[in-house]
Amino acid sequence: MCMQTLHVIKIGGNVIDNSENLHRFLKDFTALEGFKILVHGGGKVATQVSESMGVEARMIDGRRITDIDTLRIVTMVYGGLINKNIVAQLQRYGTNAIGLTGADGNFIRAKKRPVKIIDYGFAGDLTENSINPESIGKLLDSGFTPVFCALTHDGEGQLLNTNADTIASALAVALSELYDTTLVYCFEKKGVLQDIDDEDSLIREIDLERYEKLKTDQIIHSGMLPKMDNAFTAISCGVKAVIIGHSDDLGQLKKDKGFGTRLSK
């Protein structure tokens, strides 16, 4: 039996922080055929709200330290302000979206990150069984488009701040058992570039062998490495393909015009 298609799409701050970019993206997202799930973080909004409330936003290696005051703020911003704005705009464009945290429907359960060298506070790490694919599948099959923010729960009543890239990857892997799943990361570049300063140097296709060579040649390094490693892990776990591209170009995905960089086996 042929499985139905599913796109799990993660958007970053370059979309969330700019209303014009967000509206353009959501129109293109609505135009995509088949089942789809949207995953988002908080962009700069959580930091701005923290500062306005006199709570210092602390980051280590790009990861937010989530103390109890910060958790309250990200819950308000991620699960409230940003999530419900996205849902309202999607309804405007004709997508029957439903805004969710991982606690809703027990869809995504995480574990509080253990304290080692750094105490990240109420940060959540996903496990192999964190995602509840059958329940999420019921939502999709009922005509809803889930919009997940970067919040999960531990099953004991505690909300946890969880990396949105990781949530998107875990959703794609878990749901690949039920759907023909493609994972899409939308960020501020056209995709993986041969030259980081040249947007015309886009690499259209990368398989694992080519990825290893690009790493050896230091074409891909630093911040892109975790994203790429997660992508190939997802592919090895059943995801059909991972695409990395600019949010402004998402419309090309519907037209099969070569959106971003496609990673595959």
Q: Domain range holding 127?
A: 5-187+244-256
Residue 53 domain-assigned (yes or no): yes
Helix (H) or strand (E) holding 48: helix 45-52
Q: Per DSSP, which regions of the chain are E strands?
A: 5-11, 35-40, 59-60, 63-64, 97-100, 111-112, 124-125, 145-148, 151-153, 159-161, 180-187, 205-206, 241-246, 261-263
User: Is residue 212 domain-resident?
Assistant: no
**pLDDT tens for each residue of 5-42:** 999 999 988 889 888 999 999 999 999 999 999 999 98
Encode burial over 161-183: b for 16+ CB neighbours within 10 A, e otherwise: bbbbbbbbbbbbbbbbebbbbbb
Per-residue pLDDT of the chain (265 residues; tens, 9 = 90+): 578 999 999 998 888 988 899 999 999 999 999 999 999 998 789 889 999 999 988 888 777 899 999 999 999 999 999 999 999 999 999 999 999 999 999 999 999 999 989 999 999 999 999 999 999 999 999 999 999 999 999 999 999 999 999 999 999 999 999 999 999 999 888 888 888 888 888 899 999 889 988 888 888 877 778 778 888 999 999 999 999 999 999 988 876 667 899 998 7
Does 193 fall in a domain? no
Helices 133-141 + 164-175 axis angle, to 10: 80
DSSP symbol at 114: P
Residue 152 CB: number of other CB atoms within 10 A?
A: 30
**43 appears as a binding residue in the annotation:** yes
Residue 200 lies in a domain: no
- C-beta of residue 110 within 8 angstroms of C-beta of residue 160: yes
Is residue 46 classed as helix, strand or coil in its secondary structure? helix
Question: Residue 59 is encoded by which pair of tokens?
Answer: 């980051």
| 206 within a domain of the structure (yes/no) | no
Instruction: With 0.85 as the threshold, say if the pTM is over it.
Output: yes
Nearest to 164 by CA among 63, 55, 66: 63
42 is in an annotated binding site: yes
Any domain includes 224: no
Residue 251 lies inside a defined structural domain of this protein? yes
Q: How far apart are CA 254 and CA 170, in angstroms?
A: 24
**Reduced to 3 states, what is the DSSP secondary structure of residue 230?**
helix
- β-strands 261-263, 241-246 pairing: antiparallel
238 is in an annotated binding site: no
110/123 Cα distance (integer angstroms) = 9
Number of domains in the chain: 1
Neighbours of 24 (CB within 10 A): 16
Q: What is the CATH number of the domain that holds 105?
A: 3.40.1160.10
Cα–Cα distance between 167 and 65 in angstroms, integer? 18
| Helical (H) or strand (E) element with 73 | helix 68-74
* 223 domain-assigned: no
Q: Which amino acid is at 55?
A: V
